[in-house]
Structure formats: C-alpha cells, structure tokens
Amino acid sequence: MSRNQKGEPFDNFFRVSHGPLESEQFKQLPVTAQLLYFYLCKLGNRLAKRDGEFFRSDTVLEKDTGLSNFTIRKAKRLLGNAGMIQFNKPSQRNKATRYTVSEYSNC
C-alpha cells in the first residue's frame, strides 16, 4: 500500500456533504476557499472532539495546503460569512485557531 509523507495510506477517505458542493453559494467561492473548506472537513473528521471543535494554526494550514497566509485568512473569512465554518482567532500570534465545521454543511 502506498503512503504519503506522513505515513498515512493514500486510500484514506473523509466525509463531505453534497449540500454545500451543490449550493450556488459554494460555487461562487474562490477555489482557494473551496480547498480550505475540504481540508477543514478532513481535519474535522480526523481531529474533532465530541463538540465538533478542533484546532489548527494558520502556519500549519499554510504548510498543509500550500496556500499563503493572506489567502488562508481571506478564505476563512469567506467561509465564515457563508456559514460553513466557525472559527475563533487566537489572542496571540502563531497560536492555533479553534474551528468548527457547521452542521449545515454536514461534513
């Protein structure tokens, strides 16, 4: 079985609801916001506690997605305004942001 750099099998899957993918609101988002949404769904499936929260710093998101810090901040704002995610910005720089992928998106 082939594995990625983190040692995870390539055939791992994560759940994403069809609802957001089929919505006009999602289709109007820049592809970078869509990419971040998918990545946050993956993290939510893997890391979320019972309350649906998980943490990830923007620095780690940059490395994981290949997006710039500016693009990540913009995409988070767009996804938050669309109601697809909630996030709480940390009070200190370089600390992890708390995320919840919205129930509406059901991922």
Mean pLDDT by 10 residues, the chain (107 residues): 60 69 89 95 85 90 96 96 90 84 61
Cα–Cα distance for residue pair 78/71, rounded to 1 Å: 10
Cα-based distances in Å from 16 to 5, 13, 55, 59, 63: 23, 10, 19, 24, 22
Cα–Cα distance for residue pair 72/34, rounded to 1 Å: 11
Entry pTM: 0.80
Cβ-in-10-Å burial (0-12, 13-18, 19+) of 67 comes to: buried
User: What pLDDT is attached to residue 106?
Assistant: 47
